[in-house]
Structure 1
C-alpha cells in the first residue's frame, strides 16, 4: 500500500512464508470489496496457484436456506470469495469420518464426500463447531499472490482450529486477530477504513 501511517513495513512483519494452513489478513486500507478487512484461510498453495476461503464474512443465510434438502443444522454460510460464488465449499475437523477429505494442517480439513457429510449430520456426529460452509472461494495465480504480498496487501499469520471454528463474531474477527498478534498489529486494528480520515 502506498500510504502507511506506521514507520515500519508490513513486509518486515511477514516473517512467515505463505503456505497452506496460514491466514492472509488484509491490510487496513484495502478497498477491494471482496477482501476489505478480510481474513483468508489458505487451503492450497503450490506452483499452480493459491486457493483460500474468507472466514469473516457471512452471507446472512443458514445452510438450510442455501440447500433445501440439507438436514436441520444451525450453521451460517460464509462468503468464501468471488470465484464460483454459487458453489458450496466447506472446511471441517472430521477428516476421520468424511471420505475424500483433504488435510490442510493438524485437525483441519477441507472438502470431502458431501452425501456422507449430510448423513453424519443427521446422526448427530458432526456439530456446527466442527464445520464451516462457504459460497465461492478466493483464488490467485502464482505471480498474482506474490505481487500482492510485495505490495503489502496482506499479512501472513498462523491459523488454528480455535480461530476457524470458534465463536468470535465474524464482524469482529479481523480486529481480534490483529490485536492478538501484539502491539504493532493492534495499532493497525484501530486504523480507520478510509486513510483520508486518519
Structure 2
C-alpha cells in the first residue's frame, strides 16, 4: 500500500512536473535502470527530467570549469557531475534549491529550480561573492526526454513509480544508495515487487 505522499505506478495518471520518478525493478531500458528522475516538465506533448543518482566517473566539476575558463575554488574537485539522461549530452544544466534564482532560472516548484546558464557555474565556482551559489545543487550533463504519451505508457506498464521530491534524495551525493532510499518511500509490500528485486535484496547486491 502506498504512503500518502507517494503513488504506486498504477495510480500515476496526472502530469508529474515537480515529482520524482523511481525506476521499478522491471524497467526495460538499461539507460534508466535503478534511476531516480526529477521531472522538470510534463504535459500532453512531452516530458523532461534529470536523473539525480548517476554520477559520472570521468568528469569532475573542476575540469568542466577549466574548459569554460572559469576559475574554480578547491571544493570543485569534490563536486560530482551527473549523467542527467541520454538527450543532449553535450549540454549541462543545474538542478538546485530555489534560494538561488536568475532571470533564466525555471522555477519547478516552490523549492526547486533549473538553470542552464554559464552564470550559475561562475557562482558555484565562487567567483562572484556578491551572488552566492545555491544552498544545494546538482550539475548534470544531458537530460531525459519523452514524447507525447510515452511516459504515461511506461507508467501504465509499471516501469515507473512516483512520489513527492525530497532534498535528501535529490542532493544526497554519489555515495548514497539513492535508488533504494527513494523506493523505500513508496511503502510498497514485497508482493508488489518483482522476483528480480527480491533476489537482489536477498543477495545483498549494491544499489546505486
Q: Same fold (TM over 0.5)?
A: yes
Residue 100, structure 1, aligned to residue 104, structure 2: yes
Unaligned ranges ≥5, structure 2: 1-7, 201-208
Alignment match, 2:64: 66
Report if aligned partners of 1:102, 1:112 keep a CA contact under 8 Å in 2.
no
Alpha-carbon distance between aligned partners in 1 of 2:30 and 2:199, rounded to the nearest angstrom: 16
CA deviation after TM superposition for structure 1 residue 64, in Å: 1.6
Query: Where does structure 1 differ by over 6 angstroms across 4 or more consecutive aligned residues?
Result: none
SS in 2 for 1:122: coil
Mapping of residues 1-198 of structure 1, within 5 Å: 11-12=9-10, 14=11, 17-60=14-57, 61-68=59-66, 69-70=69-70, 71-72=72-73, 73=76, 74-94=78-98, 96-115=100-119, 117-119=121-123, 121-123=126-128, 125-126=132-133, 130-167=136-173, 169-170=175-176, 172-184=177-189, 188=193, 190-192=197-199
Alpha-carbon distance between aligned partners in 1 of 2:172 and 2:53, rounded to the nearest angstrom: 11
Alpha-carbon distance between aligned partners in 2 of 1:164 and 1:186, rounded to the nearest angstrom: 27
**C-alpha distance 131-96 of structure 1, shift in aligned 2 (>3 A):** closer
Number of residues of Structure 1 aligned to a counterpart in Structure 2: 181
**C-alpha distance 192-98 of structure 1, shift in aligned 2 (>3 A):** farther
Give the TM-score taking structure 1 as reference length.
0.78
CA deviation after TM superposition for structure 1 residue 36, in Å: 0.5
**C-alpha distance 160-95 of structure 1, shift in aligned 2 (>3 A):** same
CA deviation after TM superposition for structure 1 residue 42, in Å: 0.2
Alpha-carbon distance between aligned partners in 2 of 1:116 and 1:54, rounded to the nearest angstrom: 19
Alpha-carbon distance between aligned partners in 2 of 1:176 and 1:186, rounded to the nearest angstrom: 18
